[in-house]
Every structure is written in C-alpha cells, then in structure tokens.
Structure 1
Amino acid sequence: MTARILNGIETAAEIKSELRTRVARLAERGIVPGLGTLLVGDDAASRSYVTGKHRDCAEVGAASISVELPSTADLAEIADAVRGLNEDPAVTAFIVQLPLPARVDENAILELIDPSKDADGLHPVNLGRLVLGVDPLTAPAAPLPCTPAGIVELLDRHGVELRGARVAVVGRGITVGRPLGLLLTRRGADATVTLTHSRTPDLAAEIRRADIVIAAAGAPHLVKPDWIKPGAAVLDVGVTRVGTTASGRAKLAGDVDPAVAEVAGWLSPNPGGVGPMTRALLVSNVVEAAERNAALLVEATVGA
C-alpha cells in the first residue's frame, strides 16, 4: 500500500482563493483586513515565517503591518508595541512571533493581546471559549488555533471521516496537542481522542488502535510503520532540526518515519502538509475578524 497524500500546499491554495473572494466583498464596503506582526530580534526562522505571512496577505488582498524591535528590547518596550497594535485601527488581528528573548516573559506579553485581535487563536480567553464550545463565528472574539484548525480542515477537504473515528494525538503542547483534542471532540467532529505524550505507557499500542494519527511531539521519526493500523490517516506535524545540508541550510525531520507511507492510507508530507494549512488558517482568522467587525458595525448602525 502507498498512502495517498494529504496535500497541504494545494488545499491552502484553495482556502486562499476563497479568502480572496471574501476580502473583495469586504473591500466593496471599504473594509481592508490587516494582519499585524511583531518580530523581536532577527532569528532567521522567525523572519522567514513572518515574511511568509505578509506574502500570504498580499495574495488574498489583505494588508499587513510589520513592527520590528531589536533583540535588546526589554519587557516594557515589547509591551508598548503590543499595546500599539491593539490600538491601531488598521490592524484587524496580529501575532507576536515567538520565541521572544529568553529574559522576556512570553506569557505576560501574550496576555496583553486584545483577544479580539488574537490572530493565532491562543490567547487564554479564546482558548477558554474553545473549552466552553463557544461558536467562533458568533462569539465577540473566538478565533481557532491555527494549526489544529488547519489539521481539521485538511482532513475534511480530503474526505477523511472524523465522526466516530479513533484519533491518537502524539504530543500535549498548547499550540497543537491540547487544543486539537478539544476541536476533534466538539459536536459535529465527534471523534474519540487519545492525547498521548512522552509518559504514555506503550505508546506504540495506543497509536496502533487509531484510525487517525497526528504526530506533534518534535521527535524525529518517532512514529514507526509497525505502529500504524493499515489504512490509517497519518499527519506529520512535528519539525526538528537534525543538521545542515551541504549548502548550509537547516536539515529538518518530521515525527513520522517515511516508511509509514507503505502502511498508511493517507499521509501528510512534511514539509508541504500541515505547515501551509497553519499559514492559511491564520489569514482566515484575520478575515473572519474583519467580517465580525463589519457585522458589529452594521448592528451598531441599525441600533442607532
């Protein structure tokens, strides 16, 4: 068996095409969605990610607003930059690119973000709304976490059935594992989720029972072919630097052994699987925030 590909590049392109239409409709009303980014320092990977986000915005017709601070910026300077993005009417939603300098309390900075402008969907208020099952399209501000939402969208658009499926999530991090478990068990998704981690006894046995495996542990080639139920869908989310290429570029490895392709029914490539979906869903969060703002403006006008 050779697994069919869960192609994140093609699926993200479809989503961005849909977003272009939505952005054009907003433009007819004089509304331009704007993604803000705050980059502290000059980490190459962070700069590449931020640059990609601005490119995504340009593709769909949204604006992008970049704020950069030197690596020497202290907590007060970074906090001031966050408050500035909160107050900027051109910024519909924004991200603080991580990691921040080691001396800076990241949680303190992230909690300063206005929840209604949280493009990542990881503000404590928005995660709380996810726990409560608040509808993200009707709440005052409830964007979904980008990578988990991208995973669900990738499965849905390839016809991989979630309802009634047994799902093993490998990794319990706040950006993927924990919120993904919440998304997959919501009414409408209705999967049965096992959230596994480094302390799970007989991890291979837990994974072998799953119809869908989502590996987000950051452990190179952790998931082996004999761990996979034949025909299961496998999504490789983790990325680890394992050296450098001859040209000096970072050599990366996913969490899934490439030989899994001979057992799985579906497999997301890494790169080219979940990564493009994360980026597309972040832009989607910005557009949805602009649409919510437009709806609130209509309500205020009607009520006046």
Structure 2
Amino acid sequence: MGFASRFRSSLTYPIAATLVLVTVVPMVSVGLLLISYNRTHLETVEKRYLGRQAVSLAGETSLFMTGHRTQLESTARALAAAKSVDVGAFEELLQGFGNQPGNSFVYLQVITREGAGAYVRSPKLGSATFTVVDEAAQAAHETALEGSRVEEVILDLPRNDAPKAVFAFPLKSPTSQVWATLTGVLDLGPLQNKLGENTYAGLLVSIVDRSGRVVVSSVPSLRGMTLTGSPLVQDFLNNPQRITLTYDHPIDLDAGEVLGSVAPVQELGWGVVMERPTAEAYAPVRVMKQRTLTLTALAALIALGIGSILGRRLVIPLQNLASTSSEIAEG
C-alpha cells in the first residue's frame, strides 16, 4: 500500500483535513477580505492623491501662463492708449519689461504697420532657436495686424529646447485702426522643470493642449505626441473636467496599466495629466497577497504535520485495542 493510500485510510487524513478547515480556511478568508478592502481603500487614496496633484499643478500652470499673458496684454493696452508714440523708445521699454522679476519672456518685439520698431531677446536664446522663434514672431505680427490676437505654442525646436508660447496683441488707435503689434515669446522651461521636481517622483506627468497634444512632459519623448488614444485624454477633450480612470497607457508601453487623473487648466483649455503605474500604486496590496498565500501554505503544512502526528498517536492505541479484542474473542 502506498503512502497516499495509507494516509487516506488512517486517521491522519480526517484529522489533518479538520485542522486545515478550522485554521487555514478562516485565515485565508480573512486575508482575502483584508486584501479586497485594502485595495479598495488604496484605490480611493491614490485617486484622491493624483486628483489633488493634478489640480495643484493645473493651478500653477494657469497662474504662470495667464500671468505672463496678462502682463503683455496690459503693456499692449498702455501702448495703444498713448497719445504719442516714440518708436525710438521701444527698445528701452521692452528691456524694462523683460527685466521684471519672474519674467520668462525670451523675445519681445513692437513693430508698426510701416515696419518700424524694435525687439529684444534673452541671452539664453540660442541662435538656432532664435531663428525659429523670430519666424514665428513675424507670422504672429502679420496675423495681429489684421486685428486678431495670437496664442500658439512652438514645440519643434532645435537641440530639444523647451517649448515656447507666442502671444501677439494688436495695438489699436482710438478709431480702432491697428497701427502696430506687441509680440512676446514665453519660455515654457519653468513648466518643464516643474515636472521634474521631487513632488512628482514616480509619476508620469504631462500637460496637453486642447487637441490632446503634449506640450511638456516628465517623459521627454512624449512631447509633441497626441494622446487622443488615451481613454482619459479622450474623455477630457469631450468633457473638460476632473476625471480619474484606470487604463493601459497608449504610448509608454513600459508603464503598462496606469491609474490616471486629469484636471483642466483654466482659461487655456489645456489639461494636466497625472499617471502612475498600478503595479507601483498597488504594490502594498500585492505584497500583502503574497504574504497571505505564503502563510496559508505554511499553515497548511503545519496542519498536515500536526494531523500526521496526532493520527499516529491515536492509531497505535486503537491498533492495540483491536489486537486485544481479537485475542479475547479467540479465547
């Protein structure tokens, strides 16, 4: 008779099974309930955390962009309201505006309809980038001369320079005739650097425009890409509000499944997207599950061992009793 047959035919089997039923099964049930509860609780905490981070960064982005835009627009209104225009003083005016504390404009220009005017550029602006920026500024000037405000973003820059935002405002006379334009090119490097702070360590952070195109991202390779393949971004474009979803990342395949949250950037139509791989977000739950399974296996082995020992202790007296009974019966 094999070991398995002897095991099933002896008292070891029912004793071990009883011990497993009494000790292991309740422990597994409680462990699984705790895992389910902890995952639900952790999901809630992670969603709140990502949502708050996205809202916070969206507020900072809005303050940065609208603050600079408002400064430039106020200057344009002041110039337009002036009774006399000193073209020769344009450069001095732009220098003073560009040197204001916290100012991130790297290119400023005032040009009249006749082509007179001036411009100033930041020393940080490289020659290759300046060429691209200057062309964009001239195009914005031509559009603004027609009476339209210009707001656009330049993403494709040499040497992977930080994106630039172009703002252009028409300067109108009291008779609503456009006689000049004021153009400013804003460096988005501070926004790009913001995403690299320790506050966002372990997160995939991207700022997308109203078409779903990535303006800046903590993953440089995503810049300029369109994230409309993301369910989160697609839902946001259809209904710009705070949204949190779990989905597979459409571009960064290494990230796999992610928990994402998006918050709107007021007045710009942009969105701040915060993503975290679920493998990292729910790591504590996974560790707890592994420990529960390990303890379950260990408890089952202990129960089998105890059952085997108890079975042997009970079998020997019973065998002796059976032998004695047989001897008495035989006379």
TM-score (norm 1): 0.31
Q: Point out the structure with max Rg over C-alpha.
A: 2
